[in-house]
Amino acid sequence: MQITQKNIGLTVGDSLMRVYVASPEPVGTYPGILFYSDIYQLGRPITLLADRLAGYGYVVAAPEIFHRLEPIGAVIEPGDLGRLQGNDDARRTAIADYDADADAVLDWLEQETNVADGKLGTLGFCIGGHLAFRAALQPRVKTAVCCYPTGIHTGKLGRGVANTLERIGEIQGHILTIFGSLDPHVPPDGRQTILQAMDKAGTRHETILYEANHTFMRDDGYRYDPVATDDAWAKIIAFLDRCF
């Protein structure tokens, strides 16, 4: 499916948040997805992922998660310095600010004429996987896809300690978690902590484990695994189709 692309600005508090929007070109209504990047923000590897999802028939809205700290349009380059910068931005952002950003993008999606009523979901990678999971605490979010989500099991997200794990019982939607067995950021005990918490809370969830490293779906690094990525996309789209 052909897509259209644009950038919009949403004011959250006193900060202007750029949101990259990719939508199906054919006229119609589609589910809306709040789409989260990793710590490097909206570089081409991430917007390609957003474009790919839009091509399956979704209105995808991807905010710059560090808009309070970085200039509009800033892309953090992967590498030693970029990793330090992105992690520092993550540490300095208040958890309540991440929540406010989710509210703003979901509100915008609900008001868009090409987004189907009551069909909102989230999807994210790395820190964005945690943010996608956390956004699903809102009852209006019907489903969340969390790709190698970091910090859920430890409470590490931004300034302070995130209570995401303790609030799992608030989730009403259906969750898909995707992990890599070689991922040092979400080790086996961390994965089990997340899955067991969802089981205990009665959360509807599915999980997929690949023999892959962290960020294996990002195509610009040594950890990229195209075979696992293609398989993950097939399963993600099938999951979203069922949920919507």
Sheet-wide strand order for 30-36: 3-12, 15-24, 59-63, 30-36, 115-125, 141-147, 174-180, 204-210
Read off the tokens for 154: 């430890």
| Per annotation, catalytic residue among 183, 205, 225, 243 | 183
The count of residues in the chain is: 244
HSE, side-chain direction, 13 A CA sphere, residue 36: 32
Backbone angles phi, psi at 105, to 5 degrees: -70, -40
| Per annotation, catalytic residue among 130, 214, 225, 243 | 214
Interior CA angle at 51 toward 43 and 77, to 5°?
10
Look up tokens 């069909």; give the residue. Answer: 119
Number of Cβ within a 10 Å radius of residue 168: 22
Interior CA angle at 151 toward 145 and 156, to 5°?
140
| Per annotation, catalytic residue among 89, 126, 174, 205 | 126
214 part of the active site = yes
Backbone angles phi, psi at 149, to 5 degrees: -70, 130
The residue type at 11: T
183 part of the active site = yes
Q: Whole-angstrom distance between the N-terminal and C-terminal Cα of the chain?
A: 18
Read off the tokens for 69: 């700290």
Whole-number Å distance between alpha carbons of 196 and 157:
20
Catalytic residue IDs:
126, 183, 214
